[in-house]
Structure 1
Amino acid sequence: MKNIIKNKTIYILGMLFVLFGCTNDLNIDAKDPNVLLVDDFYSTPESYKEGLAGVYGNLSLTGASGPGSSNISGLDAGTSQYGRGFWNLQELTTDEVKWSWENDPGLRGLNRNSWTSDNVVIRGFFGRCMTEVAFVNEYLRQTSDAKLNSRGVSAELRNEIKTYRAEARFLRALAYYHLMDLFGKAGFVTENDPVGAYQSPEYGRPELFAFIESELTEIIPDLKNPLQNEYARADKAAAWMLLAKIYLNAEVFIGEKKYDQCVSYCKDIIGAGFSLTPVYANNFKADNNTGAARNEIIFPIVSDGVVTQNYGPTTVMVNAQVGSLEQNGADFGVAGWAGGLRVTKQFSQTMLNGDYNDDRNTIISKDRSIEMTSMDNYGTGYITAKWSNKTSTGANGSATEIVDTDFPMFRLADVYLMYAEAVLRGGTGGSLTTAKDYVNLLRSRAHNTKLITVSNLNLDLILNERMVELYGEAHRRQDLIRFGKFTGGTYNWSWKGSVVSGIAISDIYKVFPIPRASIAANPNLKQNTGY
């Protein structure tokens, strides 16, 4: 799918943006002048796969004419990219990393946990998720039995389209999962609603949870087996992963414990043929779509420096981890944006003072203070070197700013830690001994000699292991909420609540506000409490 997205998506997105130009509730501007008639587009067997590539393309691309264009108006095109919006909300709001340039619209509020319903980054991601829902709905309308009958589609192609439709429904479930997690609600619309049905009913977490669960369960038989689909296309393992995610967080989402189910789906993934790449760093390099990393990454958002260009999370992280003092962009195969990202004192202390003198600890501290005493002083606060636009053999990526490195939304290491956590929280069907072994597999892979025993295994250790193994991969906000450490004052970090040492913040910040513009377009949406 990475090659298909490279070759087809710009064209397809141009067509889709025209189709959805009337969806004002999504704040989409149709800017492409090339109007394509739908039946003309779906006139060849290949077009159904190309249409699916366009739906996938919304995860990576922002507009029909390159990385500087966006079909979501009112904010920077790069900021509107799906993966980057997701990353901004899950990472900048936590104890992992902060964005130095607080004049960039919306980012000061995220850095300091002081956002409002007018925050453009929040609005952009809400709109991007709803755009994905709209794209999926239209693809499903255009691949219905009635449409296929009217076009005389062969039985052989129909069988392929059955899989394509299941993948599209997975992408819609993924978008609704992100809306459920980050916003707690969304306007709910499917392919059975008419195009332009702006005022869709509001679904809260219970309704969204039930939809995602039933949708994924229904489509799994139609998805390809794990590791049997093209790279970056969803398979059964991607659906199992999303189910495991909603079950791990079910106490937060719907107030119910579903750890048994989480353990079960983690076991399915672990037994499906995935494996850890022997070199931890290769998961985050320019060729992570090939080789051993291919067998660890379950579902990525793709990036390519020349064709699938986007200012997504990996382009941001590779460039912005270049230090203002160090100017070490050449080490990562980019020119760099010196000083863009720095990590918090608490993150650095966990890495340096714990049992993590291993390959995952990429902190650079020379000539720096551990605390970001000022957001404007880019020489304060440590930096990290996890991400790279160089390949596993040391070659540079295809460009020097937009990177070739794919973003691993789901990977096997996360599954091991989810399994361990679910077992510790009472999930049946697993064992503490196996959970311990999975943690040690990750430590051993990173050349950490401090292996744990069952007696060492507890939830505090798991939270730290998740930070060390998965930092920068857009899990931290959700993790801190699940562990009861995001709001309140039991755990504070640098700049939490706009104070250098950190202060308590209200529970309202466990979800983001519904963007003011989205409520104006759909009065059925009600603002989250406190905003």
Structure 2
Amino acid sequence: MTKLKSLIWLAMICSLLISCEDLLEEETFTVLSPNDFFNTGDDLDVVLNSVYGELRYSDIKRDGVTLQEVNTDIALERGGGIFTFNEPIEEFTWTSSHQWIRSMWERRYRTIFRTNVVLDNAEGIEMNESRKRETIAEARFLRAFNYYLLYDLFGPVPLITQSQTTVTDRPARATEEEIVSFIENELISAAEALPVEPRNSEYGRATKGAALGALTKFYLMTKRWQDAASSAQEVMDLGIYDLFTQGGRTELFSPDNQRDNEFIFVAVMSDNPDDNTGDGWLSHVVPRGYQWQYPPRVIFAAEYKIWSAFLELFEPEDERLNAFLFEFVNEQGETIVLGNDNARSMKFPEYPSQGISRSSDDFPFLRYADILLSRSEALNEINGPNQESVDLLNRIREAAGVSTFTVNDFPGKENLRNFILDERGREFHTEALRRQDLIRHGKFIEMAKERGKPAMDHQVRYPIPQTEIERNPNLTQNEGY
């Protein structure tokens, strides 16, 4: 594809975001000349902000809970047309033709293309050097973050680092060493150049903490324990993040607190009820007859639910239980008890400004609680039960209003490892982290088999979409598919 065609294509498909009043806001263009692009730093931001837009439009139920939790011990889904897509994920019968697996691949590479457009043009623009450096770092972070998401799902994938390609370009998959090295080095470089506070005070932009936090999670995923512990400490040393402890743990996700300094990197959802760009999570969760706090709202036939066995991990006094709906009063004034395997996650609550079927909740990719538990886990893997690991664990538990522990409560590394895994489940349900956590702990397939699923070892990775295999003869499929 020529550069001109790339620009025209980009202009046609993007709903582009422009900063306004310290929030990434949307500005839509219908007719653009190629001469309008890449003359100033603002032009770079137009394209770069569209990457944030792609993250913003990520679907919690599809890209998050379906692909990352419906195949774990946390969630199930019943009813509605989307059960067609959820059932093979829950039952471990998914194939390379699954539409939502394909759409995840396509979305990630679409955003990678846009970051490459920025990086291919940034050096040639006359602009403030400090701003240029930060813009390049931002693009490198966003590109690496999308490759991190791809690696989590598919393992090594083709590394595409430039926007100008031709129809004959058919890149093979990178090796394990190549993809790991690329993501690590890009995140390190981004962290060195990104500011501690978001550029121009625009909430949602990448920061040094976001890059170091993503690096921490990547090291954890690849079991580089010392590196994970060190990068987590770097995030902590920035001194700008903390745990939310006011008004109950689940209030962190309320409209009043969605910009709390526990959030490190989020997908910013629109607060405008007319643009229909929020997430449809709640409309796919609440049961029939549920009374909305801010009507009118629509309830779809699909219903995401929580396994009762997962809820048994919580102590009765745990404030995080307030995130679940166990019963409700219907239109007739009757109290409906939801019962076994039927509770609902209301972690992302109603917003007064949301649309009829869309929520305005920002979706967290990285929270400070994750950094603390990541360092706790890494230090335990290095040293076994130790005071700092337990202290970090206790900080999370104190915030949730539950009992704390001493080092002596954990006789060995495996005991503390298992407890941290359970704590991560209690803390991060509905945030698309469970599958990755279970895989890292070697329990993803084991626990699926315990639930009676025909899970096989190779299913720790999803298949490369069949459409991509057909387009690119140099792509090889993941083992077992």
Q: Secondary structure at the match of 2:264?
A: strand
Residue 136 of structure 1 pairs with residue 107 of structure 2? no
* RMSD of equivalent CA atoms: 2.9
Output one character per residue of 1:240-266: Cα deviation in whole Å (capped at 9) or x when no partner.
111111111214xxxxxx101101111
Residue identity matched to 1:284: F
Residue 476 of structure 1, CA deviation? 0.2
Residue 162 of structure 1 pairs with residue 127 of structure 2? no
Output one character per residue of 1:133-176: Cα deviation in whole Å (capped at 9) or x when no partner.
11111111121x2x32xxxx24x2x4212211111111110111
Output one character per residue of 1:259-307: Cα deviation in whole Å (capped at 9) or x when no partner.
01101111111221201122322332234443xx2x1100001111427
Q: Of 246, 250, 270, which residue of structure 2 is paired with 1:304?
A: 270
Residue 108 of structure 1, CA deviation? 1.8
Q: Distance in 2 between matches of 1:365 and 1:87?
A: 19
Q: Distance in 2 between matches of 1:203 and 1:332?
A: 50
Residue 210 of structure 1 pairs with residue 210 of structure 2? no
Residue 263 of structure 1 pairs with residue 229 of structure 2? yes
Number of the residue aligned with 2:406: 453
Number of the residue aligned with 1:278: 245
TM-score, length basis structure 1: 0.76
Output one character per residue of 1:405-429: Cα deviation in whole Å (capped at 9) or x when no partner.
100110001111111111111169x
Residue 425 of structure 1 pairs with residue 381 of structure 2? yes
Q: Is the 8 A contact 1:198 1:521 kept in 2?
A: no
Residue identity matched to 1:281: T
Q: Is the 8 A contact 2:114 2:163 kept in 1?
A: no
Q: Which runs of 5+ in 2 are unaligned?
A: 1-6, 15-27, 328-336, 411-415
Q: Of 414, 421, 429, which residue of structure 1 is paired with 2:370?
A: 414
Q: Is the 8 A contact 1:333 1:389 kept in 2?
A: no
Residue identity matched to 1:411: R
Q: Which runs of 5+ in 1 are unaligned?
A: 1-12, 21-31, 62-79, 252-257, 372-380, 391-395, 494-501
The verdict on how the C-alpha distance between 1:83 and 1:199 changes in structure 2, with shifts beyond 3 A counting, is farther
Q: Distance in 2 between matches of 1:240 and 1:386?
A: 26
Q: Distance in 2 between matches of 1:307 and 1:330?
A: 15
Q: Distance in 2 between matches of 1:90 and 1:263?
A: 24
Q: Distance in 2 between matches of 1:332 and 1:166?
A: 43
Q: Secondary structure at the match of 2:265?
A: strand
Q: Is the 8 A contact 1:262 1:419 kept in 2?
A: yes
Q: Secondary structure at the match of 2:76?
A: strand
Q: Of 10, 18, 38, which residue of structure 2 is paired with 1:16?
A: 10
The verdict on how the C-alpha distance between 1:59 and 1:189 changes in structure 2, with shifts beyond 3 A counting, is same
The verdict on how the C-alpha distance between 1:113 and 1:359 changes in structure 2, with shifts beyond 3 A counting, is same
Deviates more, 1:126-135 or 1:502-511: 502-511
Residue 360 of structure 1 pairs with residue 332 of structure 2? no
Residue 322 of structure 1 pairs with residue 286 of structure 2? yes
Output one character per residue of 1:20-39: Cα deviation in whole Å (capped at 9) or x when no partner.
9xxxxxxxxxxx99553333
Runs of 4+ in structure 1 deviating by more than 6 angstroms, as ranges, are none
Aligned runs of 1:64-83 on 2, under 5 Å?
81=59
Residue 127 of structure 1 pairs with residue 127 of structure 2? no
Q: Secondary structure at the match of 2:280?
A: helix
Number of equivalent positions: 443
Residue 52 of structure 1, CA deviation? 1.7
Residue identity matched to 2:292: G
The verdict on how the C-alpha distance between 1:400 and 1:438 changes in structure 2, with shifts beyond 3 A counting, is farther
Residue 510 of structure 1, CA deviation? 0.4
TM-score, length basis structure 2: 0.84
Q: Is the 8 A contact 1:298 1:411 kept in 2?
A: yes
The verdict on how the C-alpha distance between 1:336 and 1:271 changes in structure 2, with shifts beyond 3 A counting, is farther
